[in-house]
Structure 1
Amino acid sequence: MCRDCAMKLTVSYVPIFVARIGSGASAFLVVKLASGGHLEAGVVLAAYPFLEALGALIAGRWSDTLGRKKTLVVGYVVRSLAMLMLAWAFFTHTSPVLEAFLNGVIGLTTAFILTASLTMATDLTEVKNRGVGMGGFEFINLASYGVGYLIGSALYTLFKGPAAYLTIAIVTALATPIFAKFLIETRPVAPVGGKFLLSVLPPSAVVLLPVWFALTTIIGLGMFAPRVLQVSRETSSIAESIVGRLGESLIVGVLFIGALSLLGVGAIFFGRLADRWGRVKTFRLGLVGGLAALLVLNIALHLGLGPLESIALTAPLLFLTSAIGPSILALIGDEADIRYRGTTMGIYSVVLGLGIGIGSLLGGAISSISRQYAINGLATAALGVYVVMTTIHILLAKTYKTYVKDTIFVATR
């Protein structure tokens, strides 16, 4: 990759870096500040990803017909206004319905940022380096989300209320003009009579996306965990000492950023592997790693280990799971029609939004049934979703095996 191209690719990551820091902080704070009980909090939290899925359909189309940069900037402006209004709603405790509506608007407009940024990154890579380019996107996406989550937990520890959300809303709004100045358009607009998602989605994506949906549902379950996670009840004296020094909310933030950073670093590593070894083989490696990670996590929790010990034990297998994201994105990016690449890459946000939304609602439902065993219930649900979606993937792969082809041979010529 030429130096100028590498610089442009790096700049294309900046919007998602800023957006995901705000999203991560918002995810922690919304679940803490939402009005009502566990079920209401799950609905408020789920509004964001569900509307993000809807927004991705619009954003992909706009990225192709209006331009990547315009779509991205519009998303940021409206998102910033909605975040400021949600901060006001938390201060006034108006109703969970208003909170859910505003959080949904934030999710809808975040899809504009995510889809346009991902499409820019895809435009600026070639088949021979697209795996590592998508791995870089995944790293920024996950790691900055984790940083935001940690910032959100720190702000909540500091302010103990809506002032924490207002702070992150103001910071996000002020950052908008800074990155917008340096962005460039990466592709000419497509014909106005272009195609929509289902008509441009590569056939191989149909086979691979059930597993991506499973991962995003698990992320949704994890995002709800701070509502019920009781780190202070750890049996380990080391864990109790750490909680005593940092506070429970900050510990949850540290756990989340640790997990997402591990996945982000793995995305770069496995993105490069996908360029050299093959997209499909790298994907399958991650598929096995994800199943093993969830099995170990459930066994550890069932044996009485606390969240700190269980997550630490699962970490090596969690690293393998990070092979899934960049290999899927690279494969879809390879096969996408360049004229409608924004529409095609919108599938990333569609699946991301639907999965996290369902995971959030599922987390709220499970936690409302049993507070005492909520964490174990979330872990069991995560394993169940993963097994079901993996089974669907295998069945689809057997049925449509001619459609699941690797594009890496192009990169090695």
Structure 2
Amino acid sequence: MRLTASYVPIFVARVGSGASAFLVVKLASGSSLEAGVVLAAYPFLEALGALVAGRWSDTLGRKKTLVAGYVVRSAAMLLLALAFYMHNSPALVGFLYGVIGLTTAFILTASLTMATDLTEVKNRGVGMGGFELVNLGSYGVGYLVGSALYTMLKGPAAYLAVALFTAMATPVFAKFLEETRPAAPTGGRFLLSVLPPSAVVLLPVWFALTTIIGLGVFAPRVLQVGQGVGGVGEKIVGRLGESLAVGLLFVGALALLGAGALFFGRLVDRWGRLKTFRLGLAGGFAALLVLNIALHVGLGPLEAIAITAPLLFLTSAIGPSILALIGDEADVRYRGTTMGIYSVVLGLGIGIGSLIGGAVATVSQQYAINGIAAAALAVYAAMAALHIALARTNGLREAALSGPR
């Protein structure tokens, strides 16, 4: 029950994050490149915030760190809603969106550290898979909520509704969430000195995956779900509208990844960390290859993603494998600092993905979706190659990384 409760804060936060991602890309003024920069402010500041949040989780306590993040984040979201009403400049929107990202890192890192505290080696894979399910699934739910609000309200009122939802949730966590560990001594170490070397070898692929999520976050700026030769997307758009159809597509993809994370989290515990990771690595490469081929032959985004779905499911093995490994090897005293790597990689990847998406859309406006898919494949291939090189250098073996049988 306590493990399930530790997932609730990240559920609420990610619903808000998903809705924000859709609404900001729709409401922000400026060009595609400016929109990419605005979107990148959130994840880049989230990566920076994670370095502080992990430290605070250890020295001040998980709960205090989480509640502090919620209070400041709620205020920033309300100010951003006001900015959309009063003065919608890319600079102001980017600044406030960055503050929201910075404070989200406190929620994410503290919640993940709580979940790690409440699991053991024998069930850590499924515990981390559960966290990934909630993290990705609630982001997708938020994305769908944002698209629905935009369809109904059209303007800043949609973002104000999301901001009020987050603000009203804050007192719940302040009152009912329980601390999982006492605060550690203040004299500790920082992230790079506590991160297990074996985990570093696996991080390039994780970075690639989060970069692809960033490309996906930018995609609604240029995505036309109804395009393609199949006609299925056109019928769906005709019934639901473009914005809601995009939201459904995005939530479907993230829900698939989240469900896969829970499934493969159990496999991580029974089959081994590294074997499960390699299965996800192969699935990700195959998924992106099939996606690019499908778009190249003229299929619409909806049809292309439907074909890719089984391989996308395999990709979800990556997250719980890495989280379980890091949780196993992290020093308990500095577990918050160590688990901060999750937000660091997530933030950097999504930020860079947003920038790449904006650049691709600017250079190739007519074929922006095809360009984004090609960029995703290129990033993934490069990071997979780096992972293989690091693995050979460090001589990783399954016996050193696997969980209990």
| TM-score with structure 2 setting the length | 0.98
Tell me which of 375, 378, 388 is aligned to 2:382.
388
Q: Distance in 1 between matches of 2:248 and 2:117?
A: 34
Task: Report the counterpart of residue 15 of structure 1 in structure 2.
Answer: 9
3-state secondary structure, aligned to 2:176: coil
**Equivalent in the alignment of 1:340:** 334
Is 1:299 aligned to 2:293, yes or no? yes
Structure-2 residue corresponding to 1:99: 93
CA contact (8 A) 2:273 2:398 kept: no
**In the TM superposition, what whole-angstrom CA distance separates every residue of 1:325-354 from its partner, at most 9, and x where no partner exists?**
000000000000000000000000000000
Partner in structure 2 of residue 3 of structure 1:
none
Query: 1:285 aligned to 2:267?
Result: no
* Range with bigger deviation, 158-167 or 43-52: 158-167
CA contact (8 A) 1:13 1:140 kept: yes
The residue that corresponds to 1:63 in the other structure is: 57
Q: Deviation string for 1:5-37 (max 9, x for gaps)?
A: xx0000000000000000000000011111111
Distance, in Å, in 2 between the alignment partners of 1:115 and 1:190 is: 16
2:232/2:303 contact within 8 Å kept:
no
Contact residue 42 and residue 360 of structure 1 kept, 8 A: yes
> 1:368 maps to which residue?
362
Give the structure 2 partner of residue 4 of structure 1. none
| Displacement after TM superposition at 1:240 (Å) | 1.4
SS at match of 1:232: coil
RMSD: 1.0
**Which of residues 310, 313, 319 is equivalent to 2:304?**
310
Q: Deviations over 1:201-253 (max 9, x none)?
A: 00011100000000000000000000000123333333211110100000000
> Which 5+ residue runs of structure 2 have no aligned equivalent?
none
Distance 1:286 1:385, change over 3 A: same
**Secondary structure at 2:189 match in 1:** coil
Instruction: Letter of the 2:108 partner, please give it.
Output: L
Instruction: Find the residue that maps to 2:303 and give its secondary structure.
Output: helix
Q: After superposition, where does 1:217-232 map in structure 2 within 5 Å?
A: 217-232=211-226
CA deviations over 1:288-317 (Å, ceiling 9, x no partner)? 000000000000000000001000000000
**C-alpha distance in structure 2 between counterparts of 1:297 and 1:202, whole Å:** 34
Deviates more, 1:229-238 or 1:336-345: 229-238
Cα contact 2:125–2:265 (8 A) shared by 1: yes
Deviation at 1:403, TM superposition (A): 7.6
SS in 1 for 2:226: helix
Question: How far 1:182 sits from its partner (Å)?
Answer: 1.7
Q: Is residue 135–residue 267 contact of structure 1 (8 Å, CA) maintained in 2?
A: yes
Q: Shift of residue 402 of structure 1?
A: 4.4
Tell me, yes or no, if structure 1 residue 50 matches structure 2 residue 44. yes
Larger deviation, residues 91-100 vs 44-53: 91-100
State yes or no: 1:78 paired with 2:72. Answer: yes
8 Å contact kept, 1:204–1:405: no
Aligned match for 1:268, one of 243, 247, 262: 262
Partner of 1:115: 109
Q: 1:402 to 1:380 in 2, by over 3 A?
A: closer
| Alignment partners' CA distance in 2, 1:240 and 1:77 | 42
Cα distance change of structure 1 residues 194 and 21 upon mapping to structure 2, 3 Å threshold = same
* Distance in 2 between residues matched to 1:202 and 1:57, nearest whole Å: 16
Q: Does 1:251 align with 2:245?
A: yes
SS at match of 2:291: helix
> In the TM superposition, what whole-angstrom CA distance separates every residue of 1:234-282 from its partner, at most 9, and x where no partner exists?
3333321111010000000000000000000000100000000000000
Q: Give distance in 2, aligned partners of 1:235 and 1:156.
A: 28
Q: Percent identity?
A: 79
Residue 405 of structure 1, CA deviation: 5.1
What code does the residue aligned with 1:358 have?
I
Instruction: Return the alpha-carbon distance in structure 1 between the equivalents of residues 151 and 243 of structure 2.
Output: 6
Unaligned runs of 5+ in 1: 1-6
Q: Aligned pair 1:187/2:189, yes or no? A: no
Structure 1 residue 328 corresponds to structure 2 residue 322: yes
SS of equivalent residue, structure 1 residue 231: coil
2:178 partner SS: coil
Query: 2:149 aligned with 1:155, yes or no?
Result: yes
Aligned amino acid, residue 128 of structure 2: M
Which has the higher mean CA deviation after the structures are superposed, 345-354 or 397-406? 397-406
Q: Which amino acid aligns with 2:338?
A: T
CA offset at residue 148 of structure 1? 0.2
Aligned to 1:234: 228
Deviation at 1:176, TM superposition (A): 1.2
Per the normalisation by structure 1, the TM-score is 0.97
Counterpart selection for 1:24 from 18, 26, 40: 18
Q: Distance in 2 between matches of 1:126 and 1:182?
A: 24
- Structure 1 CA distance for aligned equivalents of residues 195 and 398 of structure 2: 13
1:210 corresponding residue in structure 2: 204
In 2: Cα distance, 1:241 partner to 1:402 partner:
50
Structure 2 distance, partners of 1:408, 1:364, is 39
Q: Give the Cα–Cα distance (whole angstroms) in 2 for the partners of residues 204 and 95 of structure 1.
A: 44
Q: Specify the SS of the correspondent of 1:188.
A: coil
Question: Which stretch has the larger CA shift, 252-261 or 180-189?
Answer: 180-189
Matched, 1:87 2:87: no
> Structure 1 CA distance, aligned partners of 2:29 and 2:398?
46
2:373 pairs with 1:379: yes
